A and B are shown apart, each in its own frame.
Chain A
Amino acid sequence: MLGSDAVLRSLELEGVDVAFGIPGGAILPTYDAIARGTTVRHVLARHEQGAGHMAEGYARASGRVGVAIATSGPGATNLVTPIADAWMDSTPLVAITGQVRSNLIGTDAFQEIDATGITMPIVKHSWLVQDVEELPGVMKAAFHVARTGRQGPVLVDIARDVQEAEFDFEYPDDVDLPGWKPPHKVHPRQLREAAKAIAVAQRPIVYAGGGVLNADACAELLELVDSAQLPAVVTLMGKGCLPDSHPLNYGAPGMHGSKFANWALNKADLVIAIGSRFDDRVTGKVSAFAPGAKVIHFDIDAAEVGKIRHAEIPVVGPLKLALAQLTAEVSAVAAEGAPDRGPWLRQLEDWRERFPFRYAKAEGVLKPQTAVELLRDLAANREEDVIWTTGVGQHQMWAMQYLQCDKPRSFITSGGLGTMGYGLPAAIGAKAARPDATVVCIDGDGCFQMTCQELATAALERLPIVTVILNNGWLGMVRQWQEMFYDERFSQTHLTQVAPDYAKLAEAYGCAGFTVESEDQLEDALSAAMSAGRSAVVDVRCDAEEKVFPMVPSGAAAVDTIEAPGGEVMSA
């Protein structure tokens, strides 16, 4: 068998049904193997960054490993952003790149780039394959490393002559990685300590993050929250891991999280961090974060525990197992009598009622939040599942605040890297993973223009997605900072609402295009787009000056939130 065929057989044996990529010289033999026949569906992207984000969207929607393929040199460098994105958000991704022939490596040959070197800080591991005999073992190891432990990206860089070499293909049953030993069990003593701390806490709060989704531990989290009646906050990356409609779910904390979620953390006496990592966008000033709380930190990655905030009770291990065992322990301990948490739960409810997300409506002005609320309501009335993706900016924060996600893997966003341009290709990847679902990208006009060429991919590969551009004519999030912290010097943030004409652009790509200029046009356009049966873009021209509130200024304490003008001031 040829090395190139071995790549495909390996993908098939790993259960890969879709891969995203673009061919080029150094990966040509592998693309020829695709032409020779494979069960792997290849989706041809228009830019390798798009291919990478598609693979990420696929992975986040399905829980399976995403696969992106690119050629050497510029193909590999175009994949760097999605690899970094997958690294920051722990998304399982296998990036496969062609490399120049072995005898040319190190000579600055045409399209030679040190792909393993460039990506070294942003992958779990990488391999440069220069011997075809190593190829099957490397492919096996790559998938294993990407999906086990804390998930994330790996890179397999394959020299062209390896793809062309003949050998006897045999796919190994086991991986041989003596240095890769992610934890597979949880320390029972730590669990007991955690259960005891929970049992005596008067003001506990669960702080759940994306790790819960990655660990497929959503059912276990729900069980814990229900049985111990623990209130919870859920981060941007975790959205959907606990139903947004659950009465004990207090939503997202952080820079643009709700006041009640931030206050819940601030006043808690016990923070139960589960698959979350005390990111600065959540904590604000670390020394002022949850100042009166003990911390229990559950994570598969020991390095996250104690990295930012000391954990009195660290619990390292797979969350699915840990949470199931914790629930059992907590019930056992709770039987001995628990403190009255009534006042705490009433306090949280009171804050939630007094400080909901809110914005001021104005006659004749279309507020971006209105569009998101309407999308939420339209989605609730549909029979099929709706999966949301977003770009990065104000629209992303409004999506976080106003969408209701009751199912795991229904909210897909770039959290750690904050990659503009993520949403549209991620939606295509999500659609490839979940053809039964309606996939809607809530995008910004700036973000959309970073990867909108992938509309061609959506249209031609029959992966229909809906893109709703909250078109404020600005790099809105940056504009907001300039308005609030830079004396309204709007330096290089104006895009205009009119150029390009997004509906026309959509049509040029073979998609349906809609333009919404006032609130009364909104519902028809959004409904039509969601039911179009093909890819659609809705250009929602909305208020350019709307800002995201509440807001914790960068570096400030998370309790010191700036409220939307005109709100009640909360005091400690």
Chain B
Amino acid sequence: MSSHTISVRLENSPGALARVSQLFSRRGYNIQSLAVGPTERPDISRLTLRVDCSENSLEQIEKQMHKLVNVLRVTELAPDEAVERELALVTVNVASERRAELVALSQVAGAQVADIGRDAITFEFVGRPEQVEAFEELVRPYGVRELVRTGRVGLRRPSASRPTQSSVT
């Protein structure tokens, strides 16, 4: 078992996303994260899926997804060949006397302040998924009130030499 990032170009039509997620649940594949959004073309969306599975299941997932009429392309994003990012919003409890310290710390870590309340601050953090996790760890001691992550999105690096592994296209 290992984690894989799968990138899917999907027709932007009703039910298309449901068909993909249905396929995952029916065949018993576990989705760690799923991010979906528009692309350079208004009629196509891109899904970035993170799954934990064996190489064999990965091949099955790709082949099964390929059979969905709305799925245009399925690609595995190999870690060294892809740019992967994730956004997190984190609301951290903080008493007013420790505010300055927390803000300074978060700025060093690369986070932005999105909102400041009486006893809490919301940070936004964009980075590679492991950086998001590191930031989470960094602020955890202060007390994380709420946290949300978008799930990773990814694109193949134009600088990557070898074509990414792709299933039957």
Complex interface residues of chain A between 98 and 142 (CB less than 8 A to chain B): 116-117, 120-121, 124-126, 128
A303 to B60, CA, bound (A): 6
Q: Does B28 contact A (CB under 8 A)?
A: no
Q: Does B145 contact A (CB under 8 A)?
A: no
Beta-carbon contact of B15 and A145 below 8 Å: no
In the complex, the chain B residue whose C-beta lies closest to that of A122 is B26
Size of interface on A: residues with Cβ below 8 Å to B? 23
Beta-carbon contact of A183 and B168 below 8 Å: yes
Q: Which of A150, A178, A179 is the one whose CB lies under 8 Å from B68?
A: A179
Given contacts A179-B71, A303-B64, A306-B56, whether A128 and B14 have CB atoms under 8 Å apart is: yes
**Nearest CB in chain A: distance from B118 CB, A:** 41
Which A residues fall within an 8 A CB radius of B?
116-117, 120-121, 124-126, 128, 145, 149-150, 177-181, 183, 301-303, 306-307, 316
In the complex, the chain A residue whose C-beta lies closest to that of B61 is A303
Beta-carbon contact of A307 and B60 below 8 Å: yes
**Nearest CB in chain A: distance from B63 CB, A:** 4
A527 to B40, CA, bound (A): 69
Q: Does B32 contact A (CB under 8 A)?
A: no
A408 to B22, CA, bound (A): 35
Size of interface on B: residues with Cβ below 8 Å to A? 23
A306 to B62, CA, bound (A): 13
Q: What residues on B are CB-neighbors of A183 within 8 Å?
A: 168
Beta-carbon contact of B60 and A121 below 8 Å: no
A180 to B19, CA, bound (A): 14
Complex interface residues of chain B between 50 and 77 (CB less than 8 A to chain A): 56, 59-60, 63-64, 66-72
Beta-carbon contact of A120 and B60 below 8 Å: no
18 pairs, CB–CB < 8 Å, chain A vs chain B: A116-B15, A117-B18, A120-B18, A121-B22, A121-B23, A124-B67, A125-B68, A126-B15, A128-B14, A128-B15, A149-B67, A150-B67, A179-B11, A179-B71, A179-B72, A181-B169, A302-B167, A306-B60
A70 to B63, CA, bound (A): 32
Q: What residues on B are CB-neighbors of A180 within 8 Å?
A: 69
Beta-carbon contact of B72 and A302 below 8 Å: no
A301 to B22, CA, bound (A): 20
Beta-carbon contact of B69 and A179 below 8 Å: yes
In the complex, the chain A residue whose C-beta lies closest to that of B56 is A306
Q: What residues on B are CB-neighbors of A306 within 8 Å?
A: 56, 59-60
Q: What residues on A are CB-neighbors of B56 within 8 Å?
A: 306
Beta-carbon contact of B19 and A302 below 8 Å: no
A116 to B15, CA, bound (A): 9
Beta-carbon contact of A303 and B26 below 8 Å: no
In the complex, the chain A residue whose C-beta lies closest to that of B69 is A125
Q: What residues on B are CB-neighbors of A301 within 8 Å?
A: 67
Given contacts A121-B26, A145-B69, whether A178 and B11 have CB atoms under 8 Å apart is: yes
Q: Which of A116, A126, A179, A316 is the one whose CB lies under 8 Å from B168?
A: A316
Q: Which of A116, A145, A149, A178 is the one whose CB lies under 8 Å from B72?
A: A178
Q: What residues on A are CB-neighbors of B19 within 8 Å?
A: 120
A473 to B168, CA, bound (A): 51
**Nearest CB in chain B: distance from A187 CB, A:** 11
**Nearest CB in chain B: distance from A562 CB, A:** 32
A303 to B61, CA, bound (A): 9
Q: What residues on B are CB-neighbors of A126 within 8 Å?
A: 15
In the complex, the chain A residue whose C-beta lies closest to that of B168 is A302
